[in-house]
Amino acid sequence: MPGPLEGFRVFDMTVAMVGPVATKQLGSMGADIIHVEAPEEVRANAGVLPFIKGTSIGYINWNLNKRGLILDLKQQKDREVAYKILETCDVFVENMRTGAADRLGMSYADVSRINPRIVYVDCTGFGRSGPMAMVPGADPQIQVMSGWCSLNGAPGGKGQIFRGTAQIDFNTGNFIAQAALLGLMARERTGKGQFIELSMLSAAMALQASRLAEFFVTGKTPPLMGFATTTIVPHQAFLCQDKQWVAVGVEKEEQWAPFCKVLKVEHLIGDSRFKTNRDRVVNRGQLIPILEQRFKTLPRYHWIMELNEAGVPAGKFMEWDEIRFHPQTTENQHIVRVPTKSWGTVYDGGPPYHFSETPTRVFSAPVPGEHADEILSEYGLTREDLSPRFPSPSKQED
């Protein structure tokens, strides 16, 4: 059975990671994603990444669920082919630097003139206006600019970049996909397409809503907490007897007494300093050292078993070699195997949504330009209709 976006077509003029992640999601829902790349941007990658047979693992992952076409939009013939394809598209997505798409003849004015019903999603690093409008944006720079780094780090230390999996990049991609879907919903009601603008900076600010609220209420930047959180105590990691860390969260008031009983600190239950979460937040400095000493008396698995049995969330920090084969992961298809012709079997975090009637899908990313003949033939075109500079699909290096 087809996915929820079956029958919709997306003109994907995205680069690097932010935009491709968004269109990858739309492709998993069944949309036909035509990923259009410039000749000089094939095998795009973001920074230094491992490669599989000459292709960045980032390119392979972020461009799953798409068909590939190389067009030199600086050339009139290729631009005319793009316009012909755009006549049949429902969504246009680009995340290039401000003004770049305009110079290629792919502005909203250009595209909507060809197809008034198109939902055009534009994402830049810092927004289309203001003193930084022309500055290219990347995850680390956005973290610094948005204040994200001021919230992460060890107590008493300096702010740090979140060295994970490009949180700003991925989440901006999520917002782009969401914007495209909302634009399509609006079009169903009005019959009209529209221009949708967002930026990596705006996405980063939206993700910090709760921390911004703390700042506006207190007038102070939330302190660096390391493993801990500012609003719930205890809710952090503790080092155990076996030198392993356990993550614990007393998230409800009714969990406080069972927590204390497991740790055999029942005298803290009625202590006025720690009676409620508000009290514990205020008196964090007095409570945490007591708990740290108790956790050091027994190994991690003792605490995990006892706390979970008492209804208090507790767990270990997992490595990828564990989570990859964990039954919770495998049974829910959180990681999926994707066969490819060019790179063997690759793995991907499966779509986070499961539709009972319109299932999602995951299939191989294209070798750059791989589907040129297939796509062109759908419009009655051949390679002869393209610029002489048009390259053949890239061949993978051994």
Tens digit of each residue's pLDDT (9 = 90 or more) over 284-302: 999 999 999 999 999 999 9
Q: Angle at which helices 139-146 and 167-190 pack, to 10 degrees?
A: 90
- Where do the structural domains in the chain lie, given as residue ranges? 9-207+327-385, 235-317
Which pLDDT band, with edges at 50, 70 and 90, does 150 fall under?
Answer: confident
In this model, does residue 159 exceed pLDDT 90? no
Tens digit of each residue's pLDDT (9 = 90 or more) over 328-370: 999 999 999 999 999 999 999 989 999 999 999 999 999 989 9
What's the pLDDT score for residue 42? Answer: 56
What's the pLDDT score for residue 220? Answer: 87
Distances (CA, A) of 56 to 25, 59, 308, 344: 19, 5, 42, 14
- The tokens describing 208, both together, are 């910090």
What's the pLDDT score for residue 168? Answer: 93
Which of these, 355, 266, 277, lies nearest to 30 by C-alpha position? Answer: 355
In this model, does residue 158 exceed pLDDT 80? yes
What's the pLDDT score for residue 45? Answer: 47
Which of these, 275, 272, 226, 271, lies nearest to 250 by C-alpha position? Answer: 275
What's the pLDDT score for residue 156? Answer: 85
What's the pLDDT score for residue 210? Answer: 87
Tens digit of each residue's pLDDT (9 = 90 or more) over 299-330: 999 999 999 999 999 999 998 889 988 999 99
Tens digit of each residue's pLDDT (9 = 90 or more) over 105-120: 999 999 999 999 999 9
What's the pLDDT score for residue 164? Answer: 65
Angle at 178 between CA 55 and CA 221, to 5 degrees: 90
What's the pLDDT score for residue 47? Answer: 45
Judged by average pLDDT, the poorest of 43-52, 57-66, 194-203 is: 43-52
Q: What whole-number distance in Å separates Cα of residue 211 and Cα of residue 46? A: 29
Q: What is the DSSP string of 59-109?
A: HHHHTTT-EEEE--TTSHHHHHHHHHHHTT-SEEEE--STTHHHHTT-SHH
Residue 18, Cβ neighbours under 10 Å: how many?
A: 31
Tens digit of each residue's pLDDT (9 = 90 or more) over 240-270: 999 999 999 999 999 999 999 999 999 999 9
What's the pLDDT score for residue 307? Answer: 98
What's the pLDDT score for residue 152? Answer: 85
Burial of 76 (0-12, 13-18, 19+ CB in 10 A): exposed
Q: How high does pLDDT run on average in the chain?
A: 92
Coil, helix or strand at residue 386? coil
Which of these, 173, 142, 205, lies nearest to 16 by C-alpha position? Answer: 173
Judged by average pLDDT, the poorest of 15-19, 141-145, 266-270, 386-390 is: 386-390
Looking at domain 9-207+327-385, its CATH architecture is 3-Layer(aba) Sandwich (3.40)
What's the pLDDT score for residue 389? Answer: 62
Q: Which numeric CATH code is attached to 235-317?
A: 3.30.1540.10
What's the pLDDT score for residue 39? Answer: 86
What's the pLDDT score for residue 46? Answer: 41
Rounded mean pLDDT of 90-111? 96
Percent of the chain with pLDDT over 90: 75
